[in-house]
Structure 1
């Protein structure tokens, strides 16, 4: 009976572990539903337009411009950045590219996706995508692993005919992410997310306040380090329970083995 109870408890804990992962993998509703999605893009890292995951941001620009957006990503998430550029009716072949940088402005490699694409002459649009590596809670200083914090998107054309320079284009960008769970958990975490900011300094050169003037104000819906919980904890607990169960079961099956049989007196 007690064995059945232990197995039932383990199954219940496994179900609870799967539920948060399934919920986190669903994109959160974007602000585009109430019409508050950004309709302009920045022209540099410092002026990047902030967007939330799940939003679809739009912007008007000219061929040859650099368009910048920023978004927050937390540990355990694997962000996917997608962009669509609507081109003018008449144009030559041109190549567009989307790049993603972390809070330290290090260019992050894409696991897969069409990061660079060439639009044929007179093509109506071009679509780009970049699936980043899973954001880690902690990494070695020399590594280039993606870490929690602000990420920057840069969209631009990298091959353009001189006759098409300055032609109007319409761009849309969307960011989503998948919660990877305990398989990406590490034993460590950053003291603070990589959110660019500048300290307030007085004219005398001494620090006037410890309050930071943040260059990026958005954060994940559950706050930073919201991904501290993962199914890794549950799998560890289940493994410990099964190991204990196996030990008790083995002892039960083998107890008494090798003991000399007792012969009743006078037999």
Structure 2
């Protein structure tokens, strides 16, 4: 009975401690609530349209244009970028190949962990869907590594294979970014002094002694994750289980605790 009580207590403590970690692993797909989703896209890194995770951004463009958006990502997130290109109903001369690329704040192209980054739409297709799931964003990495780091990320959508006669035809693009919180399993010992948020925006006001705009940091900054990580939860769970295992082992090996009888005449 004593061992059963010990095991029951261990199960209850494990469930109570693990519940926050399970809750933190849910995808973050809620809109930011900062306003309506953008309805246009930039044409370069410097003019990339800012979007928040969970927003459905749209843009009207022409076949052959380069479309750019940017979004923030923080450590321990695994962003997934999805794009849908609605093609014109007018006859096309050939199939079209579209490509979705993602770059970090240093404009380094990031590899997709999985997803259809490049797809070819048939000549009579009405749309094409693309997706790119990045590797988990790390809090710190070696300077020579190209690991995803906290900060701004750029999305570039364009056609890479198209007939000359189809260039300039109108298309509609939809882009959305969602992230899954990976949690403490992706935590590292270290962090960046500042997130990779380049000076891509310009201040509206001008300094009194200059007639040129000055570069400013982007308004899209990832939220600080803080010092808390669910690694603390599992470390605590491990300590509790170790203590309970020690108590259970002692209960099994110590015996009844009663002194043995001494035979008469001994």
Quote how far apart the aligned CAs of 1:197 are.
2.4
Say whether 1:84 aligns with 2:84. yes
Say whether 1:154 aligns with 2:153. no
Correspondence for 1:207: none
Matches within 5 A, 1:177-196: 177-196=179-198
Q: Please state whether the residue corresponding to 2:180 is helix, strand or coil.
A: strand
Per mean C-alpha deviation after superposition, the further-off stretch among 162-171 and 8-17 is 8-17
Count matched residues: 250
Q: Please state whether the residue corresponding to 1:197 is helix, strand or coil.
A: coil
Match of 2:23 among 13, 19, 24: 19
CA distance in 1, matches of 2:161, 2:228: 45
Quote how far apart the aligned CAs of 1:264 are.
7.8
Quote how far apart the aligned CAs of 1:5 are.
4.2
Quote how far apart the aligned CAs of 1:29 are.
2.6
> CA 1:263 to 1:99, structure 2 compared with 1: closer, same or farther past 3 Å?
same
CA distance in 1, matches of 2:243, 2:69: 52
Deviations 1:54-113 (A, max 9, x none): 111111111111100000111111111111111122212111100000011110001111
Say whether 1:213 aligns with 2:216. yes
**Is the Cα–Cα contact under 8 Å of residues 78 and 134 in structure 1 kept in the other structure?**
yes
What TM-score comes out, normalization by structure 2 length?
Answer: 0.83
Correspondence for 1:10: 14
Q: Which runs of 4+ in 1 moved over 4 A?
A: 4-7, 260-266
Say whether 1:93 aligns with 2:92. no
Deviations 1:196-253 (A, max 9, x none): 12899x999xxxxxx9711x21234xx2225x53332211111111112222333343
Deviations 1:128-174 (A, max 9, x none): 11111111111111111111110000001111111111111111111
Flag structure 2 segments of 5+ consecutive residues without an equivalent: none
What TM-score comes out, normalization by structure 1 length?
Answer: 0.83
Per mean C-alpha deviation after superposition, the further-off stretch among 180-189 and 136-145 is 180-189
Quote how far apart the aligned CAs of 1:30 are.
5.0
CA distance in 1, matches of 2:215, 2:126: 44
Please provide the CA RMSD for this pair: 3.0
CA distance in 1, matches of 2:252, 2:190: 42
CA distance in 1, matches of 2:30, 2:232: 25
Correspondence for 1:233: 232
